[in-house]
C-alpha cells in the first residue's frame, strides 16, 4: 500500500506546492463554517479575483439554501478519486467529500483557496501545500444542537450522530486560528474576513520574493 494518499501519486515530484495560501475551514458540524464562508464571500470587494472558494463534490443530493456542491453517486465518486480528480478526499457522516484537483492550479497561480474540510485531513493538506492556514470554527454543544435541528438538513438521528462527532472528531490542529461563532454571524464573519484579507496580502508578498 502506498504511504501517500492516492491523490498525491499523480504528481509526486511537484509537491508540496509552494505558492498560494490554502485557508482550511474546519470545526464541528453546525458551528457555522459554510455561513462564515458565505458571509466573507459576499464582502470581499476588490479581493474577489484573488480568492477562490472550493466547490466540493459530495455524495449527498444538493439542497436549496445550503452549500452549493457537486453531487456524485458513491460509484462515480470512487471513479473520480481513482482517476486523480480530487486534490483531497475524505469520508465523514456516512458521506464522501472531495476537493477538485484544479485547486492545485489555483495554488500554483498564487491565489488564496478557501475550503470547508474535515478536521482530520488538515495534516494531509500540509503535505500537499506549503502554506496552509487552518481556521477552526467553534460553538458550544447546546448551540450546535439548536442550529443543526433548526437547519433541518439532517434527520434527528443524523443530528445526534453529528453532535457525537463534534467532540469525537476533534483532533489537535497546531497553529490553528480559532473563531468562536457562538455569538452573531457578523462578529465571527468579520474576523474570518480579516483572516482572508491577511492571507491575500501574504500571498502577494510570497509572489514577490
Ligand X SMILES: O=P(O)(O)OC[C@H]1O[C@H](OP(=O)(O)O)[C@H](O)[C@@H]1O
Pair type for strands 132-138 and 177-180:
parallel
Least separation in angstroms between CB 58 and ligand X: 7
Least separation in angstroms between CB 77 and ligand X: 14
Tell whether residue 126 is among the known ligand binding residues: no
131-150 footprint of ligand ATP as x/- string (CB under 6 A): ----------------x---
Binding site for ligand X (CB under 6 A): 26, 29, 33, 92-93, 95, 97, 116-120, 165, 169
Segment 159 to 188, residues that bind ligand ATP, using CB under 6 A: 181, 184-185, 188
Tell whether residue 30 is among the known ligand binding residues: yes
- 3-state SS assignment for residue 87: strand
Distance CA 34, CA 36 (A): 5
Q: Which residues of 180-196 are buried (b: 16+ CB within 10 A; e: fewer)?
A: ebeeeeeebbebbbebb
Distance CA 49, CA 52 (A): 7
Distance CA 83, CA 27 (A): 29
Tell me the sheet residues that pair with 180. Answer: 138
- Between 8 and 56, CB nearer to ligand ATP: 56
Tell whether residue 174 is among the known ligand binding residues: no
Tell whether residue 28 is among the known ligand binding residues: yes
Tell whether residue 20 is among the known ligand binding residues: no
- Which of ligand X, ligand ATP, none interacts with 22 (beta carbon under 5 to 8 A by kind)? none
Segment 17 to 46, residues that bind ligand ATP, using CB under 6 A: 29-35
Q: For residues 42 and 103, is the Cβ–Cβ distance under 8 A?
A: no
Dihedral angle at the C-alpha atoms of 113, 118, 121, 125, nearest 10 degrees?
0
Tell whether residue 35 is among the known ligand binding residues: no
- Between 159 and 203, CB nearer to ligand X: 159
- Which of ligand X, ligand ATP, none interacts with 32 (beta carbon under 5 to 8 A by kind)? ligand ATP
- Which of ligand X, ligand ATP, none interacts with 130 (beta carbon under 5 to 8 A by kind)? none
Closest CA to 134 of 189, 183, 199, 88: 199
Q: Enumerate binding residues for ligand ATP (CB under 6 A).
A: 29-35, 147, 151, 181, 184-185, 188
The annotated binding site for ATP is made up of 27-34
Amino acid at each position: 500500500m502506498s504511504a501517500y494518499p492516492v491523490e498525491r501519486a499523480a504528481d509526486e515530484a511537484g509537491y508540496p506546492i509552494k505558492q498560494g495560501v490554502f485557508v482550511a475551514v474546519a470545526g464541528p458540524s453546525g458551528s457555522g463554517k459554510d455561513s462564515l464562508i458565505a458571509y466573507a464571500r459576499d464582502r470581499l470587494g476588490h479581493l474577489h479575483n484573488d480568492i477562490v472558494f472550493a466547490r466540493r463534490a459530495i455524495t449527498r443530493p444538493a439542497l436549496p439554501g445550503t452549500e452549493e456542491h457537486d453531487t456524485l453517486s458513491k460509484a462515480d465518486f470512487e471513479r473520480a478519486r481513482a482517476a486523480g480528480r480530487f486534490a483531497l478526499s475524505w469520508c465523514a457522516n456516512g458521506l464522501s467529500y472531495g476537493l477538485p484537483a484544479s485547486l492545485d492550479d489555483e495554488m500554483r497561480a498564487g491565489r488564496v483557496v478557501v475550503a470547508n474540510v474535515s478536521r482530520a485531513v488538515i495534516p494531509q493538506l500540509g503535505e500537499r501545500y506549503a502554506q496552509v492556514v487552518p481556521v477552526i470554527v467553534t460553538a458550544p454543544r447546546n448551540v450546535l444542537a439548536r442550529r443543526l435541528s433548526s437547519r433541518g438538513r439532517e434527520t434527528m438521528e443524523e443530528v445526534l450522530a453529528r453532535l457525537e462527532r463534534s467532540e469525537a472528531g476533534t483532533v489537535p490542529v497546531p497553529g490553528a486560528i480559532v473563531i468562536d461563532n457562538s455569538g452573531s454571524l457578523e462578529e465571527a464573519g468579520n474576523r474570518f474576513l480579516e483572516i482572508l484579507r491577511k492571507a491575500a496580502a501574504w500571498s502577494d508578498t510570497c509572489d514577490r520574493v
